[in-house]
Amino acid sequence: MRQGDVDWQNRLTPDGQRDVRQATTAFQANAAPPVPPALKPRCRVALVAGTGQHFTEEISCLLRHRLRVAALIALAGFGVFLIRNFISPDVRSTPIILGLHCAVVGVLTLVSAMLWSHLRLGVRALRALEAALFGSMALFFGYLQYWMFHHGNVLYGVQEDQHDRMLSLATAGNSLRWFVLIVLYGTFIPNTWRRCAIVVGMLTAFPVLLNFATCWKCPIMGVHAGQALFEMSVALGMGAAIALFGSYKINVLHHEAFTARQLGQYRLLRKLGSGGMGEVHLGEHVLLRRPCAIKLIHPEHAGDPTTLGRFEREVQSMATLTHWNTVEVYDYGHADDGTFYYVMEYLPGLTLQDMVERHGPLSPGRAVFFLRQICAALREAHAIGLIHRDIKPGNIIACQRGGVHDVAKLLDFGLVASHGLAKALGPDAGKLTVQGSILGSPPYMSPEQALGKSSVDARTDVYSLGGLAYYLLTGQAPFARETAMETLMAHVHEKVAPMTDLRPELPLDLQDVVLRCLSKEPDKRFPDVESLDRALADCDCADQWDGDRAADWWKRIEDESRSEPTMVGAGA
C-alpha cells in the first residue's frame, strides 16, 4: 500500500470512538443494525443473488432514489400546467378538472416530501408511494380522457368537416400523456421484468379500454371510435415496448455492475483509497457479514508478472503473521481479469500521523506504549525473515480491539522484503520498483534503503522505528527537506537534531534510545527489535501510559467532538 492507501483505515474522525462503534456494529449478523448510515444515501450496498436482506436494502435504496427523480419530473410538469391554467384559464377546464389537477399536485408534493425526508422507508412503503405517484397521475389522465370523449365533448363547437382533424389532435395529445407516463415508469422504477410487464400492461390497456367503453356506442363518437382506438393503440404499444426494453436493459446493467463488485466470497461496498499499487475497498464477507478491507492489485499497476508473483508470495507470507499488533490477512486470490486481491481486517481508527496532526505530539509514555507494540509485531515478522521497510506514522492505526484502547496495528507489508524468498525470486528479490520509483517513505527511510541497497535487514526497520518515535515525540520527521531526494541524502549524510531542541521537557534516556535507532551505520543501532523493546521498557516514562489512560483520552476526545458544531455534509 502506498500513501493514500491507508485512507481506508483513517475512518476515525474527531468523533472518536462513536464512529468506531458505528462503523463496526453495522456489519454484524442479522440481529445487528443494518448498513452504516454513511453508506445509505449513496446506495453503496451491493446486491447478491440469494441474500434476501441485501436484495431488500439494494432495492429500497435504488427505488427511493428513482422515485425521487420521477416525482420531481412529474411535479414540475403538473405544476407548470397548473400555473398556466390559473394565469390563462382554458375554456375547457371545468372546476372538477382544476380541482383534480390541484389534488394531483398535492399528492406529488407530499410524495416528494416523504421521499426527500429523513424518514426510513422500507420497500413496502416505497411501493405504496410509487402507487400513489403513478396512480394519481393515471386517474387524472383517465378522467381527462373520459371528459374529452364522453358525448363528444372534444368535438363541441367544431365544424363537422373538422371533426376528423380535431379528433386526431385530441387522440394524439391524450396518447402523449399516457406515453410519457408509461415510459417514465418503465425506465425509472426498478422492477423485475414480470412486474414491469404487469404494471406497464395495465397502464397501456386502461386508456384503450376506457376509450372503447366511452366511444363505441356513443351516438357522436361511435363513427370515430375505430380511428381513435387505432391511433392510441399504436402510440401506447410503442411506449410499452420502450418501457419494457428499457427496464430489462437497466436491470441487466445493474446485475453486471453487482457481479463486477463481487470477488469470490467478498462483496465490494465502496472505495476507500488508492495508491501506486492498487485500490483499497471497504467490503464484507457474503456469508459471515464480516467487515474487511480489500486491496486490489491490478496487473498494469504491478509492472510485470514477476513483480505481481512476488507480491502474491509476500502476501502469502504475511498471512502467516498472527500477532495481535499486525493487521490480519483473511484471504487472497485472483479475479477473472487477473487482478490480485487480498483481504484484511477492517480497522476503523486513527493513524498515528492523524493523531499527531490533530492533537499534537504524544507524551513520552504514550509514544513508548505504541512503539513497544510495533516492536512486538515486528518481532514475529523478523523471525520468519520479513522486513517491513515502510514503517511510518501513516501505516500504524490506533484503534480499539476487544475492549482495549490504543491498540497499535501495523499495516502495509506491501514493500516487505523476504530473505526466505530470495533464492526463488532471483537477484532482484530485494528490490520492488513501480513506475521507476524507489519505494518507501523518504522521511523514514534508512540510509542504506535511501541508497537503494538490497541487503537490508531488521536494522532497517529499527531505523524507521527511530524516525517514527522522533515524529511522535516532536511532531515532525527527523529530516524535513523541500524535495524527496534532499530528504534521502539527509538520511545518508546529515546528523539528526536532538529532540530536546524541539521539546526540552523530553526525557534524556528516551532521546538516547531514539538517536541510537537513527544511527547512520547499522552496526551502531540496536541489533534487533527485542533489544529496542528492552531499552524502551527501561525508560523512566515506560509506565506512564496504559489502557486505562488511553480509555480516558478517547472518552475526552469523544466528549469534545460532541460539543463541536455539526458539519452538515462533512465526509459525504
CA gap 407, 372 in Å, rounded: 11
Instruction: Tell me the three state secondary structure of residue 330.
Output: strand
User: Which residues, including other chains, have CB under 8 Å from residue 443's CB and lie 6 or more apart?
Assistant: 392, 467, 471, 477, 478, 479, 480, 487
**β-strand pairing of 266-274 with 340-345:** unpaired
Hey, what's the cell of 372?
A: 513497544
β-partners of residue 323 are: none
Which one-letter amino acid corresponds to residue 117?
Answer: S
Give the total residue count for the chain.
572
State how far Cα 230 lies from the chain centre: 51
User: Which residues, including other chains, have CB under 8 Å from residue 387's CB and lie 6 or more apart?
Assistant: 381, 416, 417, 418, 419, 456, 457, 458, 460, 461
Q: Among residues 528, 526, 522, which one has the least CA distance to residue 512?
A: 526
User: Which residues, including other chains, have CB under 8 Å from residue 306's CB and lie 6 or more apart?
Assistant: 425
Q: Among residues 434, 437, 503, 493, which one has the least CA distance to residue 469?
A: 503
Assess contact for 392 and 546: CB atoms under 8 A.
no
The active-site residue out of 5, 19, 390, 412 is 390
Answer yes or no: 331 catalytic.
Answer: no
Hey, what's the cell of 355?
A: 493523531
Assess contact for 277 and 2: CB atoms under 8 A.
yes
Q: How many helices (H) and strands (E) does the chain have?
A: 18, 11
CA gap 70, 108 in Å, rounded: 10
Using the structure block, give the residue that is written with the C-alpha cell 506504549.
369
DSSP state of 495: P
Instruction: Tell me the three state secondary structure of residue 231.
Output: helix
Which one-letter amino acid corresponds to residue 356?
Answer: V
Using the structure block, give the residue that is written with the C-alpha cell 375554456.
91
Query: What secondary structure does DSSP assign to 2-54, as a single string?
Result: -TTGGGGT----TTTHHHHHHHHHTTS-TTS--S-TTTGGGT-PPP-TT-HHH
CA gap 432, 415 in Å, rounded: 7
Hey, what's the cell of 412?
A: 502495509
Which one-letter amino acid corresponds to residue 526?
Answer: F
Q: Which segments within 127-246 are labelled E, that is strand?
A: none
Residues labelled as active-site residues: 390
